[in-house]
Amino acid sequence: MSSDHVAAFILERVGGSLLVASEEGGAPEVAWGDMFFYATDDHTPPAMPFATIVHRDYPGFDEASNLNRDGVFRLNVELGRATLEARLPAWEPDGFDFAVADRLIPHPAYWRQGWASIINPTDERLLEVLPLLIEARARAAARRA
């Protein structure tokens, strides 16, 4: 499955708008091609996305997922701390394998802020996390309102 397939799934089933980071948009080069999903339909992104898709490691900051492998990408979802702790109650960041594929795991850099991630999700995993994506979009829309 490709990141474009995941992006289409989110836009079709969850809604919102998509911003793809680019040089023209003023994004730093390391983020070019990464996708940011916002709880808006007018293509005016608020400050914080409810989900992102990243295609590579961010050197010196976010390298634990080892995304610099061919065909590897990571879907990130803002669950909120309560939902993250309820879904992933007993884990320790030290020694955790953030490079495991097709499993809902804490985000390697933003888990304290309530973000989770899935590397190369399958269709089955996307259906499993669909309610979480819908909830994340609803929270983002409420913040925007």
**Which CATH number fits the domain that encloses residue 120?**
3.90.1150.30
Q: Please write the tens of the pLDDT for every residue from 31-66.
A: 788 899 998 876 666 678 999 999 988 878 788 888
pLDDT exceeds cutoff 90 at 18 = no
pLDDT (0 to 100) of residue 46: 65
Residue 29 has pLDDT above 70, yes or no: yes
- Of 50-54, 106-110, 123-127, which gets the smallest average pLDDT? 106-110
The whole domain housing 104 covers: 3-144
Phi, psi of 113 (to 5 degrees): -90, 5
Q: Find the angle CA(134)-CA(131)-CA(88) to the nearest 5 degrees.
A: 115
Cα–Cα distance for residue pair 100/119, rounded to 1 Å:
7
How far is the first Cα of the chain from the last one, in angstroms, to the nearest whole number? Answer: 34
If one counts the domains in the chain, the total is: 1
Helix (H, G, I), strand (E, B) or coil at 19: strand
